[in-house]
Amino acid sequence: MSKRDYYEVLGVNQGSGGADLKKAYRRLAMKYHPDRNPDDSVAEEKFKEAKEAYDVLSDPQAKATYDQFGHAGLDQTRGGGSSPGGMGDIFDSVFGDIFGGGSRGGNRVYRGSDLSYDLELALEDAVSGKEVKIKIPNLVGCGSCEGTGSRSKQSPMQCQTCGGVGQVRAQQGFFSVQQTCPHCRGAGKSIADPCGSCNGSGTVRGSKTISVKVPAGVDNGDRIRLSGEGERGQNNGPSGDLYVNVVVKKHAIFERDNTNLYCEVPIDFGIATLGGHLEVPTLEGRVSLKIPPETQSGASFRLRGKGVRSVRGGGIGDLICKVAIETPVGLTKKQKALLQELTESLSSNTKHSPRAKSWLDGVKSFFDEIM
């Protein structure tokens, strides 16, 4: 199968300059990138085709050969190879140039590193949402050299080894090997007097403050991605991303499980026995909880719609109140006497304590069996 004309592939004419070639290539690479077209073999082939065309037309020597002899001339120069570079070259160039590596204007550029930040939130803020300001470490321009990387603050000079392209090419017969320039390490520029503060990089460790909009309903383990707020890229490469990890602090009253809230409500044995009403807290204020007579410790009561709405949508959860009967402490002599009288009165009839009677019957049966 014959190859298409490289100018036709990129949609440019033969007189197009480097900027037009790069613009056309980036447009096609973004459109047909494998990450955007999973399991699409047609898109993958178009992606490779665009990369091959750009590799040739952006290389003055290869372009001149192609303009004069076409594909046949390139095949002869490469010893019959079908692509200017292998898969490693494709991903290094396209992933780098568009998503963080590769080259711009002939110089190697690198995408900045992603950053991670743990953001602690109160339960109330996680439920209702909040905008917070955070301070994160980051690379900033060096103040000593004003970002030039040079002690004398002079702009870096073009690397004499690679001529500013960041790469060197070694020719052996029909084979040509392209490597990163060992002198400038792909930057295409060199600094005669590196700055002592930043060692010639032009950047130093600093920090920046950014605002984070926390959506309502986030929970422990949720992550907020802030595009371009990570480390600054090298050689004008794109910045990385910032990932804000949500950590909800332990609450004094409530525990959260998905969209439901749970809390323990202590009650005295008088209300548990006779019933009554208690005021219990919710995230929206106080509500009245009805306690029916003869409530046992550990009983749970559900308040509909008093929980949380998930950040992913859906209905609002419930508040589940679990009662715990509290034993009175610090009794006076009179109170102890009254309690003793009540205890004796209740113990005279087992119908007042059905669970205790059942348990005692079980214990008696257990000992009867092992005797």
CATH number at residue 150: 2.10.230.10
Task: Please identify, among 230, 248, 266, the residue that sits at the C-terminal boundary of a domain.
Answer: 248
User: pLDDT per residue over 247-301, tens digit each?
Assistant: 999 999 999 999 999 999 999 888 888 899 999 999 989 999 999 998 888 899 9
107 lies in some domain: no
3-class SS string, 186-202: CCCEECCCECCCCCCCC
27-35 long-range Cβ contacts below 8 angstroms, 24+ apart: 29/94, 29/97, 29/98, 30/98, 33/94, 33/98
Do 75 and 138 lie in a common domain?
no
DSSP state of 192: S
- The answer to whether 322 and 300 are in contact (CB under 8 A) is yes
Do 128 and 44 lie in a common domain?
no
* Angle, vertex CA 39, rays to CA 33 and CA 44, nearest 5: 40
Do 212 and 318 lie in a common domain?
no
269 lies in some domain: yes
Rounded to a whole number, what is the distance in angstroms from the first to the last CA of the chain?
94
| Residues facing 286 on adjacent strands | 281
Name the domain count of the chain. 3
* Angle, vertex CA 95, rays to CA 231 and CA 61, nearest 5: 120
Mean of the per-residue pLDDT values of the chain: 79
Do 272 and 313 lie in a common domain?
yes
Q: How far apart are CA 86 and CA 230, in angstroms?
A: 31
Tokens of 224: 């907020």
Indicate the burial class of 82 (C-beta count within 10 angstroms; 0-12, 13-18, 19 or more): exposed
Q: How far apart are CA 280 and CA 254, in angstroms?
A: 11
User: pLDDT per residue over 178-223, tens digit each?
Assistant: 777 777 767 777 777 888 888 777 778 888 889 999 999 999 999 9
Q: How far apart are CA 26 and CA 366, in angstroms?
A: 81
Q: How far apart are CA 98 and CA 101, in angstroms?
A: 7
Do 172 and 277 lie in a common domain?
no
User: pLDDT per residue over 222-243, tens digit each?
Assistant: 999 988 888 877 666 788 889 9
How many Cβ atoms are within 10 Å of 146's Cβ, its own excluded?
Answer: 12
76 lies in some domain: yes
Q: How far apart are CA 311 and CA 246, in angstroms?
A: 12
pLDDT of residue 353: 67
Q: What is the mean pLDDT of residues 28-54?
A: 85
Say which CATH number the domain at 46 has.
Answer: 1.10.287.110
User: pLDDT per residue over 14-28, tens digit each?
Assistant: 878 888 888 888 888
DSSP state of 217: T
Do 94 and 19 lie in a common domain?
yes
Do 189 and 264 lie in a common domain?
no
Task: Please identify, among 99, 130, 153, the residue that sits at the C-terminal boundary of a domain.
Answer: 99
Q: How far apart are CA 133 and CA 213, in angstroms?
A: 9
Domain with 353, as residue range(s), is 255-370
164 lies in some domain: yes
Task: Please identify, among 248, 263, 285, the residue that sits at the C-terminal boundary of a domain.
Answer: 248
